[in-house]
Amino acid sequence: MTLTLSEAVTRINYALRGTDEDAPTSSESEWTYWLSLINRKKDELFEDVGKQWRCIYSTSAPTEPGTVETAGATTLTGTGTYFTDYAVGDKITVSGETERTIATITSDTSLTVTVAFSNTASTQTFTRKTIIATGVQTYSAHRRLLVVSDKLYVLDTNSDNIYLAFIHPQERDYTNQQVHLSGDNPQVFTFTETIASTDQMVGGSLIVPGYYMPVDLSAETDEIPVPSPNWLVMAVAAEIAFNDIVYEDRAEGLNAKANALWRAMVARNQRGVYGEPRRTSYNVKSRIRDTRVR
């Protein structure tokens, strides 16, 4: 089921008020307030990483935060970007362009590449490849990474996968190449061993399968990115009612509906490949025989 932001606001309005009033429009302050609640509920849902929400899993990093502008030159100008997270030698691919290599980084919103861009375009999305370099042990993670799902690996220049042990910082033993995550804004991947010039990983790209926070909604046509948009509708309506004396008598009922939808959403997320819940195998007799000597 898909639901746009505009449709979600209409449903929130119906849940809260019935048909007594029109839903707020994007030009009104009430829309801004409701939008902030929608984005917060979205964040609260996915920050519960223990649920491992399948809809936000990606085998590699998604598009980077912000947008960029090209002008048929080597300069790339960003809006809401974090270019200082990157490193010279990293690769970026702007929508509508082929891959480019970063030559210099001036600030979070300005960098240059080694080959000029072909197009002049604004508000373009882009992706980044983190390139492993000799002697460099730390690499910034994607700003929207919530949790690494399984093994990291480096895709080397021969297109071979070099898998890495991903550990907690206190588990490092310095006898094998391991990687741990630390810090915040950005989080940083640290290799426990120095990367030598002869290492097979040099020049390869770091691939991070994991769970990534979806971007905030803003446009009326943006699709609600949660597994059950109706849960979001009821959860937001319940919070609005709880904070508004006019509708506070409806808060309890709306919250109960949101909780029921939450449980159903969690159950669906836990289902296996064939639509059945994943189960832990067991082999325990129903009754344990008393073997004591009497």
pLDDT in tens, 62-94: 999 999 999 999 999 999 999 999 999 999 999
Helix (H) or strand (E) holding 112: strand 110-113
DSSP state, residue 104: E
The answer to which of 101-105, 109-113, 156-160, 271-275 has the lowest mean pLDDT is 271-275
Please determine, for residue 221, whether its predicted confidence score (pLDDT) is greater than 90. yes
Give the separation between CA 24 and CA 63, rounded to whole angstroms. Answer: 31
Please determine, for residue 56, whether its predicted confidence score (pLDDT) is greater than 50. yes
**Cβ partners under 8 Å of residue 60, min gap 6:** 207, 208, 209
Return the pLDDT at 286: 40
Burial class of residue 76 (count of CB atoms within 10 Å of its CB; 0-12, 13-18, 19+): buried
How far is CA 232 from each of CA 213, 252, 262, rounded to the nearest angstrom? 16, 16, 9
Neighbours of 3 (CB within 10 A): 18
Domain-embedded: residue 194: yes
Indicate the number of domains in the chain.
2
Examine the domain organization and report whether 111 and 174 are in the same domain.
Answer: yes
Examine the domain organization and report whether 106 and 148 are in the same domain.
Answer: yes
Percent of the chain at pLDDT > 70 equals: 92
The answer to which of 81-95, 169-183, 218-232, 273-287 has the lowest mean pLDDT is 273-287
Examine the domain organization and report whether 140 and 4 are in the same domain.
Answer: no
Q: Evaluate whether 71 touches 81 at the Cβ level (below 8 Å).
A: no
Burial class of residue 117 (count of CB atoms within 10 Å of its CB; 0-12, 13-18, 19+): buried
Examine the domain organization and report whether 75 and 136 are in the same domain.
Answer: yes
Domain-embedded: residue 239: no
State mean pLDDT over 261-278: 76
Domain-embedded: residue 287: no
Examine the domain organization and report whether 206 and 257 are in the same domain.
Answer: no
Give the separation between CA 153 and CA 165, rounded to whole angstroms. Answer: 9
Please determine, for residue 42, whether its predicted confidence score (pLDDT) is greater than 60. yes
Domain-embedded: residue 229: no
Structure tokens at 198: 């002869």
Examine the domain organization and report whether 31 and 71 are in the same domain.
Answer: no
- The residue with tokens 């992706």 is 127
SS3 of residue 19 by DSSP: coil
The number of CA neighbours under 13 Å toward the Cβ of 294 is: 2
Examine the domain organization and report whether 136 and 196 are in the same domain.
Answer: yes
Examine the domain organization and report whether 19 and 132 are in the same domain.
Answer: no
Examine the domain organization and report whether 167 and 139 are in the same domain.
Answer: yes
**Cβ partners under 8 Å of residue 54, min gap 6:** 227, 269
Give the separation between CA 111 and CA 88, rounded to whole angstroms. Answer: 9
Provide the mean pLDDT of the chain: 91
Domain-embedded: residue 237: no
Examine the domain organization and report whether 102 and 200 are in the same domain.
Answer: yes
**Cβ partners under 8 Å of residue 41, min gap 6:** 232, 235, 236, 239
Domain-embedded: residue 56: no
> Residue 192 belongs to what domain range?
67-212
Examine the domain organization and report whether 2 and 132 are in the same domain.
Answer: no
Return the pLDDT at 272: 62
Domain-embedded: residue 234: no
State mean pLDDT over 217-240: 96
Question: For 277, phi and psi rounded to 5 degrees?
Answer: -60, 140
* Residue ending a domain, choose from 212, 231, 258: 212
Domain-embedded: residue 275: no
Burial class of residue 154 (count of CB atoms within 10 Å of its CB; 0-12, 13-18, 19+): buried
Examine the domain organization and report whether 168 and 207 are in the same domain.
Answer: yes
Please determine, for residue 225, whether its predicted confidence score (pLDDT) is greater than 70. yes
Q: Tens digit of pLDDT for each residue in 137-187?
A: 999 999 999 999 878 999 999 999 999 999 998 888 877 889 999 999 899
Q: Where are the alpha helices (DSSP H) in the chain?
A: 5-17, 29-46, 229-242, 251-269
Of 140, 130, 68, residue with least CA distance to 97: 68
